[in-house]
Amino acid sequence: MQTLRSQLPPGSPRWAARLAHWRVLGLGPDALDKPKIAVVNSSSELAVCYSHLDEVARRVKAAIRAAGGVPFEIRTVAPSDFITSVGAAGGYILSARDLIAFDIEAMVEGAQLDGMVCLSSCDKTLPGHLIAAARLDIPTLILPCGYQPSGCCHDELVDLEEVFIRATQYTVTRDPALLQWVTECAPDAVRGPGVCSGLGTANTLHMLAEALGMTLFGTTPLAANGPRLWEAVERAGYLIVELVRRDVRPSRILTPAAFRNAITLLLAIGGSLNAVKHLQAIALAGGVPIDVFAELEARYDTVPLVVEVRPNGTTRIEELEAAGGTAACLGVLAPLLDGSARTVEGKTLAEHLAAATATPSSPVLGTLEAPKRPRSTLMPVRGSLAPRGALIRSTAWVQERAGQVFVGRAMVFDDQQEILRAISEARVAPGTAVILRGQGPRGQPGMGLTSTVAFALALSGLADSFALITDGQISGLVNQGLVVAEVTPEAVTEGSPLGLVRDGDPIRIDLAARRVELLVDPAELAQRPPYRPARPRPRGWLGVYSQLVRDVRDGALVEPS
């Protein structure tokens, strides 16, 4: 008979306590010897992305019981970019990813449960789930729970991303027509539960989890509450019990080969910039020896863009699902992938692709020979201003200028509102390299979203003549202007070039060479005092986070370095 880690010596105090507790919960003595499965749920009434998860959990638990397991539902913090970003300048968004992982650790390790099904929804839940899975290394299945249906306004399709774009534009321009549109159309942008319908961080991570082999093959992206989700729920409940019985751990799935496959897919779909740090955090949590940013650099020139889902193009996520979703994308990319990577279903990626039902050709998908674009919309850069790397959202606007070199003088800011005032007062001249620092995971803390500044610069008439360089993050919805984001090391790090920049310093950005340079003698930089942000250190969770969070190139993972 299989020995489970959840089984305690009969007659021991904790065995007896479980017998007493679980009888009241409707479980008999036989439950003590069955596989005990955590159903990780981030259900919340604050955000629609989580509002359907209680029903998902109910059905998963029923399937686990039918398979001979005992499910225990546990709850975690439930961050939503559009809802819980109001306080602390958005600092509770990225930082909550690690709280999710710690929530899971406390409950699953504390109770020594045998496996997990993680109900992944909004942006930070899936990477939080995979960080916990990699760290705990117990049998785990990731269950992406689908995207939300979009709405219609003024006889046009509208989604939450479009509302975000126009609301941000209104914040900058104060155009009454934009306010009227947002007021009328925001209530119709979302017609049901699930994650944002574009290729934002959530759908990107759902797809990458499949490329990593941690989900059921062929199940991303999918519509929330649709028939494909309920079919996946049923399969997941049975499979997790089998994974526990066969002791299939994440360390057998999350290999360097699996990460390289996920990185290749990330480039090919032009996924969220956030995915780069999330993949690195998962790798570090599991002790997987891979440098995600370096792998991104190595593959950038050989992996084309094979699909243009919003915001990269006009393709809707529903169209990608109908064209075969992640499985179809992986099929296109097969010559660039490591087919030997194993998945939770016991097959290799190559075996899955060979067994996959052929999807009719679709104009949604390009090929390696005839891609949508020759390069990804996710561009890695390095240089003396970003020695550990930075990212550029290589939109069509940027790609049209790929052969150009930007040279400008730095104008340094430590606060986003200061930039907005400078723009409104016409103090930002053409050819300016706007430096916004102190926005990284330690400097913010929690990492600042700098999209409003990028929109303001683009809408001010400077779109063709400015660069924004920041250690904060940027939304993929920003599609004009040259924005270098997530510069590392962040400004508050000792010796960070970004922290040493002064007004008037010459900056050079060469898109063809993927270089961002600070043209100041290193000897002069060495004489400059280190950057010290004016804001006080926060208390509570964000104070703890700022002390323990690692550099973005280390995944912004919260753990001692």
Show which residues are catalytic. 475
Sheet strands side by side (includes 140-144): 70-75, 36-41, 115-120, 140-144
Task: Write out 243-276 in H/E/C secondary structure.
Answer: HHHHCCCHHHHCCHHHHHHHHHHHHHHCCCCHHH
Task: Give the DSSP H or E segment for 311.
Answer: none
List % helix, strand, coil for the chain (3-state, nearest 5). 40, 15, 40
Q: How far is the CA of 263 from the CAs of 238, 268, 398, 482, 510, in angstroms?
A: 29, 9, 22, 23, 24
Helix ranges (DSSP H) in 137-199: 160-173, 176-185
Token duo for residue 314:
């006009």
Q: What are the Cα distances from residue 378, in Å, to 114, 357, 402?
A: 38, 30, 13
The residues, any chain, with a CB within 8 Å of residue 381's CB and separated by 6 or more, are 389, 390, 391, 392, 484, 509, 514, 515, 516
Residue at 414: amino acid letter: D
Q: What stretch of H or E contains 423?
A: helix 416-424
Helix residue ranges per DSSP H, 125-212: 125-136, 160-173, 176-185, 201-212
Q: Which of 53, 365, 359 is nearest to 218 (CA)?
A: 359
Tokens of 392: 């550029």
DSSP bridge partners of 373: 305
| One-letter identity of residue 493 | T
Query: Which H or E element spans position 100?
Result: helix 94-104
Gyration radius (Cα) of the chain, Å: 24
Give the burial string for 77-113 (b: 16+ CB within 10 Å, else e).
bbbbbbbbbeebbbbbbbbbbbbbbbbbeebbeeeeb
Tokens 């290729």 correspond to 199
Q: Which two tokens stand for residue 241?
A: 């019990």
Please confirm whether the linkage preceding 9 is cis (ω < 30° from 0).
no
With the CA atoms of 4, 10, 16 and 22 taken in that order, what torsion angle do they form, in degrees rounded to the nearest 10? 40
Exposed/middle/buried for 243, CB within 10 Å: 0-12, 13-18, 19+? buried
